[in-house]
Copies of this chain bind each other. A is one copy, B any other.
Amino acid sequence: MINIDKLEKISKLIRYFILISTTRAGSGHPSSSLSAVELMSTLFFGGFFKFKINHIEYINNDRLIFSKGHASPLMYSLWAAAGAVSEEELLTMRKFGSRLEGHPTPNFPYVEAATGSLGQGLSIGLGMALNAKYIDKLPYYTYVLLGDSEMTEGSQWEAIQIAAHYKLDNLVGIIDVNRLGQRGETIYGWDIKAYEKRISSFGWETITVDGHNIKEIADAYENALSVKGKPTMIIAKTIKGKGVNLLEDKNDWHGKAISKAQMDTALKELGNVDKKIRGEILNPEQVNIPEEGIEEYDKIPMEIDKIATRKAYGNTLVNIFSKYPQIVVLDAEVGNSTFSEIFKKRFPQRFFEMYIAEQNMVGTALGLSLRGKIPFISSFSAFLTRAFDQIRMSQYSNSNIKFVGSHAGVSIGEDGASQMGLEDIAMFRTLLVSVVLYPSDGISTEKLVEKAAAHFGNVYIRTTRMDTPIIYSKEDDFKI
């Protein structure tokens, strides 16, 4: 039985934290935070979310991603209500040097992934859920808090498709339908049935709730945790700015802190806040990942004469897997062109078809990377431009993704400019600590793909369609 009275008290405390931290900062998104207070406090302290608060790196912790990253004041306040952040630290939010940045980054260690560019969290969660279900085979759940406005991003629907395809019943999305985007009403306003119809049509379980009714929310989580064979979306009708008269369901308050005087009024409305109360997050199940050794297998010999670097890439993935068993390979339905299919044929359990949906592929890779995997993800280099925003954002999450773009340059000829990777180097060179590798032959490909696996951080490898002659020898060394 959940203790509704206590959850209400904690929710009040969280509202207090949201208001004092944003007003002190003089900026931020209190109204977008206030709408999801009950959704998150019930998740955290209603016995659903399981997390070792003193062991952040624990492999079986549940995962929570704020896809609506601008609700960071809520996130920090949640952890404060759990006792992991002091009220004093909350007041440093958005100050230079504080762990509590305007949008979440892993500088605050409870943040799973940096967010703030909308429409990316569900894909990241998908990667973490995929990891739990198919790779680490762990019982943890992944929760993603979504904004209603961001549901128009196509990347969300990519994630919705692929999560259903992989039957990720360990993935739970929560949409905070507070009706108002940054500049006015969202495309569907408070029509939560519109979301339900669309999302369920893709094969998700959907549950609609009043997002301020703790009992309804708790029932929804309980139901979500019993769903089998498909992911669940909880669609919650909420009020933006809930709990503060000045803000409730008001336009033109997006991304604005209230003044000190307004806060004093708001805190009076809030009434008595029990500042000593703290919520308890349950511990996850104690588990170990069984060490699954990779059986001995035949390596693929290097061609002597010539080989396309894209093919050498596929061969090398196979050859280094025993040394880097964290490798996971994703492809955007062109594995027979990028030659990731060579790996797929040998190690199908470590290959995930991501279909033609590059944005979600990158988000998924980020989720896998954050769970300790080394994702190698491939498409035509031209089509990786599709995911530039996801690529850009991944760098703020200490990511370790190996991007592989094939068919680089004009040499592909008659297929034409649409298929030519001409912008890829410029794109990947914009990243902090950018590593761009462009092997010219089979041997340099072999060496550089292994270097990429060994190097912690994002790496871009560019491959060519046509065969090129072998010009290096096995003794040549390459450094990143």
Q: Which residues in A have some Cβ–Cβ distance to B below 8 Å?
A: 25, 27, 69, 94-96, 101-103, 105, 114-119, 149-150, 152-158, 161-162, 165, 181-183, 186-187, 197-198, 200-202, 252, 333-337, 341, 355-357, 359-360, 382-383, 385-386, 388-389, 392-393, 396, 414-419, 422-423, 426-427, 429-430
Contact = CB atoms under 8 A, between A and B. Distances in A.
A389 B396 contact: no
24 contacts: A27-B414, A101-B414, A101-B416, A103-B418, A116-B415, A152-B355, A152-B356, A153-B154, A153-B357, A154-B156, A154-B357, A154-B360, A157-B158, A165-B187, A181-B355, A182-B333, A182-B337, A183-B333, A200-B201, A252-B336, A382-B389, A385-B389, A422-B430, A426-B426
Contact of A149 (B69, B95, B181, B356): B356
A154 B335 CA distance: 20
A119 B359 CA distance: 12
Contacts of A94: 414
B197 A418 contact: no
In the complex, the 8 A-B pairs of residues with the closest C-beta atoms, listed nearest first: A154-B154, A116-B418, A157-B157, A201-B201, A423-B430, A385-B388, A386-B389, A388-B388
Nearest to A429: B426
Contact of A389 (B119, B198, B360, B383): B383
Contact of A158 (B117, B152, B161, B334): B152
A117 B152 contact: no
A27 B416 CA distance: 12
Q: Most chain-B Cβ atoms within 10 A of its Cβ — which of A25, A117, A187, A414? A: A414
A182 B392 CA distance: 28
Given A197-B201, A392-B382, A183 B116 contact: no
A105 B414 CA distance: 12
Given A116-B415, A149-B356, A388-B389, 11 more contacts: A95-B414, A103-B416, A105-B417, A116-B419, A117-B418, A183-B333, A186-B355, A198-B202, A383-B389, A422-B430, A426-B430
Consensus secondary structure, chain A interface: helix
A105 B360 CA distance: 28
A427 B355 contact: no
B165 A158 contact: no
A115 B418 contact: yes
Given A117-B382, A118-B356, A333-B182, A419 B103 contact: yes
A25 to B, nearest CB: 7
Contacts of A418: 69, 103, 114-117, 393, 396
Given A119-B356, A152-B356, A187-B161, A334 B182 contact: yes
A421 B389 CA distance: 11
Contacts of A337: 182-183
Contact of A154 (B157, B385, B415, B430): B157
Q: Most chain-B Cβ atoms within 10 A of its Cβ — which of A94, A182, A333, A335? A: A333
Given A154-B155, A201-B201, A386 B388 contact: yes
A391 B118 CA distance: 19
Given A187-B165, A423-B388, A116 B416 contact: yes
Contacts of A158: 152-154, 157
A94 to B, nearest CB: 4
A255 to B, nearest CB: 8
Contacts of A114: 417-418
Contacts of A426: 426-427, 429-430
Contact of A152 (B161, B341, B388): B161
Contacts of A382: 117, 389, 392
A70 to B, nearest CB: 9
A382 B103 CA distance: 14
Contact of A336 (B69, B153, B182, B359): B182
A92 to B, nearest CB: 11
Nearest to A156: B154
Nearest to A151: B356
A359 B69 CA distance: 21
Contact of A355 (B155, B187, B202, B383): B187
Contacts of A96: 414
A171 to B, nearest CB: 17
B341 A183 contact: yes
Nearest to A197: B201
Contacts of A335: 183
